[in-house]
Amino acid sequence: MIHLSEDLDDFYLDGLVSETFNPRKNRFEKNRGGIRNEPLDTFVYAYAAAHHHELRLHRASVADWTARETRLLDMARQDPAVVSRGTFRPPEFDEAGVSRETFVPSMSTRTAIDEIICKFDREPSAEVRASELDTWKDAVGGTDDEIAVLGALTDQLAEPGSPIVALLDAALVQRARDVLRGPSPIHAARRIVRGTRHSGVR
């Protein structure tokens, strides 16, 4: 018997019954009507993983789940320098004493503009955090238009304590949208030829 949550929507529940067994062909086939079967696929994968001989989650009791939850919460409270297997990972340095930590590249100018406009659209009453503003100001690359628009946006966002919708000028926001709608310089040069055995470039 399978217990389903009341929070699942109709898309998921319809997807679970999107295939029917065909005894003549001895296989499951998709029902007509265009219902997507991803919920069924992911359910079957999860069911198989739960019954794996190293997990056997279908045999777990309430006490087992409580112990699992406690262990996960304890791991979340640990020092981030402790990896999942409980071993300490000291910071690594080269011969010159420079840290070997992974380098995180700067955000691109286009991505920074996109983040600002998304925040303006989705969270108009939210304030801009100083860390966000610093990340946007440090963005690199881009066309002259993108750099100019990002500079104007970050200048207007420099006033702390006000919602983003009150800081940005409507004309500037529209200009930023126009810049984002323009062709991306990364993908403009390539055009894939469809219908050939191997995709080529014109």
Express each pLDDT in 26-82 by its tens digit: 998 988 877 888 999 999 999 999 888 877 888 888 888 888 888 888 877 765 554
Contact call for residues 28 and 19 (beta carbons, < 8 A): yes
Higher pLDDT, 100 or 142: 142
Question: Quick one: average pLDDT of 184-202?
Answer: 49
Dihedral over alpha carbons 83, 85, 87, 89 (to 10 degrees): -30
Q: Please report the pLDDT score of residue 118 as a whole number.
A: 87
HSE-CB for 146 with a 13 A CA cutoff: 21
Find the mean pLDDT for residues 10-20: 89
What stretches of 6-81 adopt beta strand conformation (E)? 19-22, 27-30
Q: How far apart are CA 63 and CA 67, in angstroms?
A: 6
pLDDT number for residue 79? 56
Residue range 81-116, pLDDT digits in tens: 545 555 555 556 666 666 555 555 578 888 889 889
pLDDT confidence bin for 9, thresholds 50/70/90? confident
Comparing 136 with 102, the larger pLDDT belongs to 136
Q: Which residue has the higher pLDDT, 172 or 99?
A: 172
Q: Where are the domains of the chain?
A: 1-90, 109-181
Written as six digits, the tokens of 145 are 């238009």
Radius of gyration of the chain (CA): 26
